[in-house]
Amino acid sequence: MVFNRSYNHKDVLTRASMTIQIIEDVALYKAQLFSSNGNIFSSTDKSSELYVRVYKGLDDVTVKFSDIVWKRFTANSENIEEDLAWGEQHAGKSDIIITKDDIKEKANIQVEIYSLINGERTLVAADFISFIDINDMQGSDTPPNNPKHGDLWLDTSVTPPRLMMWDSDLGMWIEVAIAGKDRRNLIRHSNFYKKNFDYWTNVNNATLEIESMSGKKWARIKSNAIKNDYCGISQIVNANAKGQYSFQILSEIYIQSEYPNGDLLIAFYSINSSNIKTLIKEETFDIKTEAKVFTSTFSSLADTSKIEVIISGQEDATFDFVVTNIKLENHPIPTEWELAIEDMQDALDQKVGNTPEEVFDSLTDGGKMQGIYIDIDEHGQKNYYVSGRYIDAYNLVVRRKKDNVETLKIDEEGNVLLRVNTLQIVGDTGQFEDAATENDIAWKLEIISSNGNIFKNNIIDTVLSARVYKGKKDVTDELPASSFRWKRTSTNSTRDAKWNDADGIGVKSITITREDVNQRATFTCEVDN
């Protein structure tokens, strides 16, 4: 570790720099459409509320957007047509009502979210739902003969009826939707955001832990003893008879383990109304030390009312692997992983508050002594400790009580800020002390930005102010403005030279706008001796 004090360079008393950067607010958002009444209109269905929600991570930021465009596409002979008048009628709304008249047998409803990026109207998120009105559709127990690609068939051999579409590429009928049900993830708590195993069952006493790696929460499943049966986790979900399902899971070997095994075993069981379990499918995947998504498809049985998904290590072997982003979808073609609808709000509610109870529950995993643990010494005294293993410190900040100044800051990129009056490093063999006092004169320059140093969408408005310290004393006001000199460094050296001569001489603060920054620029202030 190296500790540097401020130093003089030629006639420069002290120097500091700040980099201003523009980032574009693109690809940060995800739009999701929700229908209150599913996407299948039957004889009893009259309307459905359709609403869009825009997320930035897990945060609902829908209210930030007013430029919302709705589009309706319907099939006319061989062509797909957009109803422009319908779109204009619903423009700017985050919630709309659709009726049978809006569907007209089959329609795709699409929503687009726009924002100003670099002064231009830019699409930042979109989603769509396919709606089908089966009111006038004739069903049958057997599929039609000689189907063409895209043909629909209402299968009445099951209850409720299911809508099937012929896929000529696959050479099979695939389920478009289950009447009254949206296509979605059926697995609860599929990414372990709670840092526990809620909704999951431990199978055959597997050793289970939650690990944080690569910005995700993982379920670590391990066994150092050979088991001749499933050993892992399982979850039971509601399902439909003779339905088609797809499954996906992200997995990799836990490389720090002493007994890793490269096989992941997934089993799917059908459970009927009498609670009788029947194996539908069992599949083994060879996992490696690099994360990979594994997929599987299957059909439920004629008497299926529930499905059990078992995630296990290989039978008759030791194993140690991690899994996350698990999805069981009521459709044979898998789509991108997403939380179950029931988990979305719950995930938002998992954010840690600042009450003593909330902090305690977070550290202890809901009261379980994990983050906080107890050690009893030889005198019988209980000593409480915090285990860093269970703490993710994103943007750790320590502030000085008297003036709220940051004295220690560690951001999510690993950058460390340390501001001290006296620094002591104590080791087993000695002590290092660096004391900056009034008698030990050191000059320091800080640049303070009134609005930060990262700006979005080409909107820049901030004031950079120079603060000069002699030891611990702020002497900015004691120095003449003529001692201050600002310089700009960017990719355009010619414009930098012009800016330096015109804007950066003899001022203690400067106003930075869009005209001063082209994507990125570094502003340096020097104080002459």
Greater model confidence, 363 or 426: 426
Residues 371 and 409 grouped into a single domain: no
Distances (CA, A) of 290 to 262, 293, 297, 322, 325: 11, 10, 23, 11, 15
Same domain, yes or no: 206 and 310? yes
Q: Read off the pLDDT of each residue in 139-149 and give the average, rounded to a whole number.
A: 82
CATH number at residue 47: 2.60.40
Same domain, 304 and 374: no
Query: Distance (Å, rounded) from C-alpha 257 to C-alpha 221?
Result: 11
Of all residues in the chain, the percent with pLDDT exceeding 90 is 19
Same domain, 493 and 376: no
Q: What's the CA gap between 339 and 169, in Å, rounded?
A: 29
**Which tokens in the block code for residue 511?**
């106003």
Q: Among 86-100, 190-204, 308-322, 414-428, where is mean pLDDT lowest?
A: 414-428
Task: Convert the pLDDT of each residue in 366-400 to its tens digit.
Answer: 555 566 666 666 666 666 666 665 555 556 777 77
Range of the domain at 468: 12-24+399-528
Summarize pLDDT for 71-88 with one digit per residue, the tens. 888 765 455 677 888 889
Please determine, for residue 403, whether its predicted confidence score (pLDDT) is greater than 90: no
Give the full edge-to-edge strand order of the sheet including 40-41.
40-41, 120-133, 106-117, 68-76, 79-82
pTM (two decimals): 0.42
**Mean pLDDT score, 422-438:** 57
Concatenate the DSSP letters of all residues of 295-315 into one string: EEEEE--TT-SEEEEEEEEPT
Supply the mean pLDDT for the chain: 77
Same-domain pairing of 267 and 313: yes
Number of domains in the chain: 4
CATH number of the domain to which 251 belongs = 2.60.120.260
Does the pLDDT at position 143 exceed 90? no
pLDDT, one tens digit per residue, over 457-470 is 566 788 898 888 88
- SS3 labels along 124-183: EEEEEEEEEECCCCCEECCCCCCCCCCCEEEECCCCCCEEEEEECCCCEEEEEEECCCCC
3-state secondary structure of 382: strand
Mean pLDDT, range 112-127, rounded to an integer: 80
Q: Are 525 and 15 in contact (CB under 8 A)?
A: yes
Evaluate whether residue 524 is within a structural domain. yes
User: What type of residue sits at position 312?
Assistant: S
191 located within any domain: no
**Residue 275 maps to a domain:** yes
Say which residue, 495 or 385, is predicted with more confidence. 495
